[in-house]
Homo-oligomer: A and B are copies of this chain.
């Protein structure tokens, strides 16, 4: 089967509402800095009412990754669900406009398009409260077999372990991918997601996943340890490829028994870390589709992450392809 896509991604289709906030605001709202919390529509309305003036922009973890793949010159397709409302129009438009493809449903007469209320503190950390809305209705019927069979890697966003139907969509995608000798990648997304679904995630990794993306907190949560080295060894034993990001300390890529330590790219000032992990995955998977060596893939991930944390918003603002070329990657 011809490879039509470098990466297909299943994720929550979410419009980000990004505003700046003080640490005191987080405390007053009872929010844990750096976390992602699911909220319902009443909570969303109430928190939004107290947040600062913001900007709205297409987001969602896996959607951001597809935006990164497209910015690197790769072929990406995003599978997710929005509503037939104004923000749904924005989401689908933005995916088309970056040269990627939007596949999946437009929910009519039900929940609104999902949104993520992101409060960015002066240290650049983002604290996210997500109203999933239509995104949470993603199910197996939204997964187009022809897309999965034609994608070098299908990337799954760990946040979708929360809704039952989405997990069925994951199972369908994994079955289709492996029947066509394609790869499955999984992002652990968030340490609270890992705590909620630890056993299911480990089972899924053992049986279905070729490539695991995680950050330090998430990988430690997965193996219930505070010792990063213990967690790294454990994931190296279970996954064919694992890429674990460590913020300013760079990342560690494990593959075939080898361990590659990758440095972070220098950033003048970290403004907003939203999308850092998503862009790392984009760079890494783009490198993989190009057949690059593991450390080269990791450096592409670092490059893409560095671009996105130097500005507000979760998607690249300049061509990552040009940036990679300028850095000899």
Contact = CB atoms under 8 A, between A and B. Distances in A.
Given A51-B97, A97-B51, A90 B56 contact: yes
5 contacts: A19-B97, A55-B55, A55-B56, A56-B57, A85-B86
Q: Which 5 A-B pairs have the closest CB atoms?
A: A53-B94, A56-B56, A53-B97, A55-B57, A86-B86
A51 B90 CA distance: 11
A58 interface: yes
Contacts of A86: 85-87, 112
A97 B56 contact: no
A298 interface: no
Contact of A53 (B48, B51, B58): B58
Contact of A97 (B52, B85, B90, B313): B52
Size class of A's contact patch?
Answer: 20 to 34
B53 A98 contact: yes
Contacts of A55: 55-57, 313
A49 interface: yes
A54 interface: yes
Nearest to A57: B55
Nearest to A83: B86
Count copies of this chain in the complex: 2
Interface of A: 17, 19, 48-49, 51-58, 67, 85-87, 90, 93-98, 112, 313, 315
Nearest to A95: B53
B313 A53 contact: no
A52 B316 CA distance: 13
B53 A315 contact: yes
A96 to B, nearest CB: 8
A93 B48 contact: yes
Given A53-B97, A53-B98, 20 more contacts: A17-B90, A19-B97, A48-B93, A49-B93, A51-B97, A52-B98, A53-B58, A53-B67, A53-B94, A53-B95, A54-B57, A54-B94, A54-B97, A55-B56, A55-B57, A55-B313, A56-B57, A56-B90, A85-B86, A86-B86
A76 to B, nearest CB: 13
B93 A53 contact: yes
Contacts of A313: 55
A57 B90 CA distance: 13
A194 to B, nearest CB: 31
Contacts of A48: 93
A313 B18 CA distance: 13
- Chain B CB count within 10 A is highest, among A52, A56, A87, A98, for A56
Contacts of A97: 19, 51-54
A90 B16 CA distance: 12
Contacts of A56: 55-57, 90
A86 B52 CA distance: 17
A53 B94 CA distance: 4
Contacts of A93: 48-49, 51, 53
